[in-house]
Amino acid sequence: MTADQRPRGAPRVARGKTSRQAEGVKAHGVLPVPRGPPRGPVGPAMLVTGVTVTRCFVEPHLLQPLHDFVNGVWWQLDLLWKAATGLGPWLGLFWSALVPYPPFNWLQWAALKVWHLPRLYRFYIIYVFADNVWKWLLPSLHEEVMSGIFLALLHRYNPKGYVDRVVNRFVSLLNKQAKLLSPKGVRAPLPEELLETLCIRLRNDGELLEALGHRRILRIWPRLRRQTLGTLSFPSASDEAWVHKTIVDGYYREVEAVVKEAALVSAAQEAAARMRVLHEAMDSARLTSKDGGLSQGTGGLMSQVDSASAQAADAIIALGQAKVEAQEAAARVGKALGKTWQDKMDELMDVHKALPDVVAELRRLDPKESKDSKDSKDSKGKGKKPKK
């Protein structure tokens, strides 16, 4: 029966359909949903709207050619490995000998647990594990590929999101540099005011924002996070050297000044603590030998004095070195620690001017008061007549 001779009301069957589709038409009176890839090329619009992704999840057989290709490649690699090395059976025997003992049995248990999870969870765990291994073995390539793709998409479709992402990465870099610069046992968190100022400065520097998302700069990003910027060097007249110099001159010096000042405060506290220990050891030794009972020596007390004096001397030397470094770091950014110190002292004196005891204690730290008192003592010493 031809298409023109079909009974009235019978469903139309398209030419070229398979017998199974024809049977479906006879049974249900409708044409089944066509199977296979969508007609025409897959463009960005389809990827954005999620048509292709949705079809892959609803119709898993669309990924079957890719699955068969991966299995075929894996099978060929496995045969090549066994034929070229012959280590497969030996590795299997070696692993069988290690499996009964921890931690190898724990590893096998975890691997089997992951392998028997649902496919989505299994693929996600394998992806996270592979991503971390890749980041550990090849950090520069990982940063260039993963972060580069993400930043490129943001730069193309969401410029504001690109700027926010770059600024957040840069703030993380500055915090990492602060940790690298801090001496052991010293915490030097960057003030919020400083971070806000540096972020505004970066947002207004469009050229640096563009450069921080370039693949060549992303390639050296792990080095910038592992080492202090002051110790790094790059070939002259290169993009890396320009970015490094811009970051050091405009941002890193500010961070360095804050960290050196925090190190100075920590060194001063350590020196004060060591001096208190030395005073306590000296008082104990003096009280013990007051009546001459230990005139030949104070035994363990003198050893304590010896140790405390050595520690106090080291702390005072470290304080002097930290003060020099803090002054140099402040001078690089156009600041003066002495002027800042004097301004703070004047502010405290003005705040507590109604409390004479507090003012008298604060005057001990005032450089001008200390100088005046020293000059007065010298003048009194010169005015005394020598005894006959």
According to DSSP, residue 41 is labeled -
Which of 43-52, 148-157, 221-230 has the weakest average pLDDT? Answer: 43-52
Q: What pLDDT score was predicted for residue 34?
A: 45
CA 132 to chain centre: 15
For residue 63, give both structure tokens: 């990924």
According to DSSP, residue 251 is labeled I
Task: Tell which wins on pLDDT, 270 or 79.
Answer: 270
Q: List, for residues 213-249, the tens digit of each pLDDT value.
A: 999 999 999 999 999 998 999 988 889 999 999 999 9
Q: Helices in 99-220 by DSSP H: which ranges?
A: 104-115, 119-137, 139-142, 148-157, 159-181, 192-203, 206-212, 215-219
Give every CB contact of residue 232 below 8 A, 6+ residues apart in sequence: 223, 224, 244
Span 79-99, mean pLDDT?
A: 73
Which of 32-41, 54-63, 167-176, 309-318 has the weakest average pLDDT? Answer: 32-41
Q: What pLDDT score was predicted for residue 161?
A: 94
Q: What pLDDT score was predicted for residue 68?
A: 78
For residue 20, give both structure tokens: 């199974």
Is the confidence at residue 142, as pLDDT, over 90? yes
How far is residue 50 from each of residues 40, 56, 230, measured CA to CA in Å?
16, 10, 47
Span 65-76, mean pLDDT?
A: 76
Q: What pLDDT score was predicted for residue 62?
A: 59
Give every CB contact of residue 199 below 8 A, 6+ residues apart in sequence: 167, 170, 171
CA nearest neighbour of 155 among 163, 147, 144: 163
Span 16-33, mean pLDDT?
A: 47
3-state SS record for 272-300: HHHHHHHHHHHHHHHHHCCCCCCCCCCCH
Q: What pLDDT score was predicted for residue 203?
A: 94
Q: What pLDDT score was predicted for residue 371?
A: 52
Task: Tell which wins on pLDDT, 209 or 19.
Answer: 209
| Average pLDDT over all residues of the chain | 77
- Which band of pLDDT confidence, cut at 50, 70 and 90, is reported for residue 137? very high
Q: What pLDDT score was predicted for residue 84?
A: 61
Contact 274, 318 (CB under 8 A): no
Amino acid at 250: G
Is the confidence at residue 352, as pLDDT, over 60? yes
Distance in Å from the first CA to the final CA of the chain = 150
Q: List, for residues 252-297, the tens digit of each pLDDT value.
A: 999 999 999 899 889 988 999 999 998 888 888 777 776 554 545 5
Question: Which of 12-21, 39-48, 242-251 is the most confident on average?
Answer: 242-251
Task: Tell which wins on pLDDT, 370 or 277.
Answer: 277
For residue 271, give both structure tokens: 């020196």
Task: Tell which wins on pLDDT, 206 or 291.
Answer: 206
> Is the overall model pTM greater than 0.75, yes or no?
no
Q: What pLDDT score was predicted for residue 381?
A: 53
Contact 367, 342 (CB under 8 A): yes
Task: Tell which wins on pLDDT, 84 or 129.
Answer: 129
- Which band of pLDDT confidence, cut at 50, 70 and 90, is reported for residue 5? low
Task: Tell which wins on pLDDT, 271 or 350.
Answer: 271
What are the two backbone dihedrals, phi and then psi, of residue 147, each rounded to the nearest 5 degrees? -65, -35
Span 188-194, mean pLDDT?
A: 89
Task: Tell which wins on pLDDT, 25 or 94.
Answer: 94
Which of 29-33, 76-80, 252-256 has the weakest average pLDDT? Answer: 29-33
Q: What pLDDT score was predicted for residue 61?
A: 58
CA nearest neighbour of 262 among 361, 178, 205: 178
CA dihedral 54, 60, 65, 66 (to 10 degrees): 70
Burial class (CB in 10 A: 0-12, 13-18, 19+), 281: buried
Question: What is the percentage of the chain residues whose pLDDT exceeds 90?
Answer: 35
CA nearest neighbour of 56 among 64, 181, 48, 374: 64
